[in-house]
Amino acid sequence: MSAGITITSGNFEKEVLQSNVPVLLDFWAQWCGPCKMLGPVIDQLAGEYEGRIKFGKINIDDEGDLAGQHGIVSIPTLVLYNNGVAENQRTGAAPKREIEAMFKKYL
């Protein structure tokens, strides 16, 4: 698992919907190979953008309700929230520059 806050149904509203910075959610599972490949990229971005964007991790095996609410059918899936609204979504492992492009205009 990479850097980021563990997001659950219990803290979703506070950590995501009420966040004062954009939030990039990573829907993942321990058994997912591409999710593990994405981990180091998320770690690097979390360090570079600390304080400007929040990175949240949602384990779909533990939080199936959140995955269902977001219509997640494949992982890894990244969902960007800004001001409590899902603004952007991407499924599959991606290079750093493509992930950055998801959130840069919201910083």
Q: Just list the catalytic residues.
A: 32, 35
Whether cis (ω within 30° of 0) applies to the bond prior to 40 is no
- Given a contact cutoff of 8 angstroms between Cβ atoms, the answer to whether 37 and 47 are in contact is no
Dihedral angle at the C-alpha atoms of 51, 65, 71, 83, nearest 10 degrees? -30
Phi/psi for 58 (5° steps) reads -125, 110
- Sign (positive or negative) of CA dihedral 97, 99, 100, 101: positive
